[in-house]
Structure 1
Amino acid sequence: MSKQLIKQAFQEVLDQGDKAFVPYIMAGDGGLDSLEEKVQFLQESGATIVELGVPFSDPVADGPTIQEAGIRALKQGVSLRAILEKLGQFKENRSIPIVLMTYLNPIYAYGVAAFARACRTAGVSGLIIPDLPLEEENLVVKELQANDIALIRLASLTSPPDRLKELARRTEGFLYAVTVTGTTGTRATFQESLQEHLASLKNICQAPVLAGFGVSTPGHVKELSANCDGVVVGSKIVDALHQNNREEIKTLIAAASSKEQAPAE
């Protein structure tokens, strides 16, 4: 049922004319004991899925904000094993799908088969591995399939058309359309060709297409969602949680709704 939970979450949102909103949070930033409450908050605020980052010592795809969150979590001794154990403790208390974002090294150190089983036990529905290319997917695909864990592929701006088609064909859950050439982090603007790129991905992908990297304002949410199925927001969410600015998160999530939002009082 893990993959099905992702499909159902998207269907519920898209069928009512809204766009999907996937917040990224760093597991263990602020302590693992706060994880359940943060996931519950995001669920109640209308998030579609929660992308949960695993702190890692060499996060090549992450910008400064997420790197700093990872360092804070690592200093508290947070590990992949501890994260999965914590997720398992409150899986019955959440309905929102959890997608884990981790680099390949922690999975390899854990043991691929044991990791996949632990994900299923913890109620993880999907996985994003940014440093795993198509050519090396055989390292994990069999075990993920056996445990009903979706492998979500990332499509970059610089990938050639044939590779984008293959990524779109193989992806499970959704296709993560990377909106910048670089690491995560807030951006003021995006390149002019991005909308055309998102629209072309929609044309070749049967799964939902979400835009992520650099999305940081309600305007970005609406702008980028126009030609795809929603957005992933990371650095802005991580910052807002760290600063306890939760109203900002609610405003971002509300921007994915098709309904006109009442102005803040």
Structure 2
Amino acid sequence: MWPHMAEFFDQTADGEPGLALFLNAGDPPLDVLRDLVLMLDEDGVDCLELAVPFPGSVTDGPVIRRSHDRALALGVGLAEVLSFIADVRPRLKRLRIALLADWSYSVKSRPLPEVVAEIAQSGADGLLLHAVPPRVRTGYYEVTKAAGLPIVTTCYHKVSTAQVQAEAVEHASAYLYLVAQYGRSGTAPAEGFGDLAGTVSSLRKGTRAPIAVGFGVKTRDDVSTVHGLGADAVIVGSAGVARVEEALAHGRDVVAEFQDFVKSLTTVEQRS
């Protein structure tokens, strides 16, 4: 078993699902983000999917695309994000950081072993590398395994072929991200999450890694529904990023606003 697999989501005795929250590094600015990350740790959140911002994402909706743009305008790139993780990670008691980076924008211009080594050395607990070309995947799996860096694999409900699902199951070592529907982030399945149970069950047969469901998860009811279908964890992105955007636009305390959002998804008392 990989070093972090068993602990990536803390399955506590209260039966609560694991919780991962997505944010772009640089939105809010890194000094504010540091306080926000420390708050997430204190409030018992399991995982932060921390993205290296990149332009023109075809899989993201308008909320997250605007977030990318705000972070890029501040000059935040891979080097700045890794420095941020190296600074904050030793201060965390519980929260794990899964770095999300885009292959074309952040990685492909350099030797993959070199980049993976830097990510591992930063203290990131896992890596989700977005849009890895098929020709690169075997090498990617080998390099991350050699570096001892757990990875997040992805597949889509209903859309991914059996081969794609099998590959995701085989190589998931941080967690397996099951995308609830094909489309852009922030959109929930029109028919709801109810028919995810079969996909979760099928994936479960092949992996010991946690299965986390994202895309369209916005409320406490969504969290409960997805967990009830067998997922170990939920991933919340656009709804939280929208709270950051609103706080920044109105000059409000981003950390306090985001803390209120987290409390709307789960209670501190249950997760402490």
Corresponding residue for 1:233?
Answer: 236
Task: Give 5+ residue unaligned stretches, structure 2.
Answer: 248-253
C-alpha distance in structure 2 between counterparts of 1:133 and 1:219, whole Å: 36
Corresponding residue for 1:197?
Answer: 199
Offset of residue 203 of structure 1: 3.2
TM alignment of 1:88-103, pairs within 5 A? 88-95=86-93, 96-103=95-102
CA contact (8 A) 1:5 1:97 kept: no
Superposed CA deviations along residues 176-220 of structure 1, whole A, max 9, x for unmatched, are: 100011111143752653232223222333211110111111110
Instruction: Sort the Cα spacing of 1:141 and 1:203 in 2 relative to 1 into closer, same or farther, 3 A.
Output: closer
Corresponding residue for 1:77?
Answer: 75
Corresponding residue for 1:262?
Answer: none
Instruction: Sort the Cα spacing of 1:170 and 1:15 in 2 relative to 1 into closer, same or farther, 3 A.
Output: farther
CA contact (8 A) 1:45 1:253 kept: no
C-alpha distance in structure 2 between counterparts of 1:35 and 1:115, whole Å: 23
Instruction: Sort the Cα spacing of 1:188 and 1:139 in 2 relative to 1 into closer, same or farther, 3 A.
Output: closer
CA contact (8 A) 1:240 1:249 kept: no
Instruction: Sort the Cα spacing of 1:35 and 1:147 in 2 relative to 1 into closer, same or farther, 3 A.
Output: farther
Give the counterpart of 1:44 among 35, 42, 45. Answer: 42
Offset of residue 36 of structure 1: 1.6
**Greater Cα shift, 212-221 or 180-189:** 180-189
C-alpha distance in structure 2 between counterparts of 1:70 and 1:41, whole Å: 22
Which residue identity lines up with residue 264 of structure 2 in the other structure?
Answer: T
Offset of residue 253 of structure 1: 3.5
Corresponding residue for 1:180?
Answer: 181
SS at match of 2:116: helix
Which residue identity lines up with residue 96 of structure 2 in the other structure?
Answer: P
Corresponding residue for 1:263?
Answer: none
Give the counterpart of 2:219 among 185, 198, 217. Answer: 217
Instruction: Sort the Cα spacing of 1:161 and 1:15 in 2 relative to 1 into closer, same or farther, 3 A.
Output: farther
CA contact (8 A) 1:84 1:119 kept: yes
Superposed CA deviations along residues 131-166 of structure 1, whole A, max 9, x for unmatched, are: 125553134233322221112110112112343123
Corresponding residue for 1:24?
Answer: 22
Which residue identity lines up with residue 204 of structure 1 in the other structure?
Answer: G
Which residue identity lines up with residue 164 of structure 1 in the other structure?
Answer: Q
The answer to whether 1:164 aligns with 2:140 is: no
CA contact (8 A) 1:53 1:100 kept: yes
TM alignment of 1:132-147, pairs within 5 A? 132=132, 136-147=136-147
CA contact (8 A) 2:22 2:240 kept: yes
TM alignment of 1:238-249, pairs within 5 A? 238-242=241-245, 243=247, 244=254, 245-246=257-258, 247-249=260-262
Provide TM-score, normalisation by structure 1: 0.87
CA contact (8 A) 1:177 1:212 kept: yes
Kindly tell me the number of residue pairs found equivalent between the two proteins.
Answer: 257
Task: Give 5+ residue unaligned stretches, structure 1.
Answer: 260-265
SS at match of 2:19: strand
Corresponding residue for 1:60?
Answer: 58
Instruction: Sort the Cα spacing of 1:253 and 1:149 in 2 relative to 1 into closer, same or farther, 3 A.
Output: farther
C-alpha distance in structure 2 between counterparts of 1:207 and 1:64, whole Å: 31
Offset of residue 110 of structure 1: 4.2
SS at match of 2:23: strand
SS at match of 1:210: strand
C-alpha distance in structure 1 between counterparts of 2:223 and 2:30, whole Å: 29
C-alpha distance in structure 2 between counterparts of 1:197 and 1:43, whole Å: 31
C-alpha distance in structure 1 between counterparts of 2:137 and 2:201, whole Å: 26
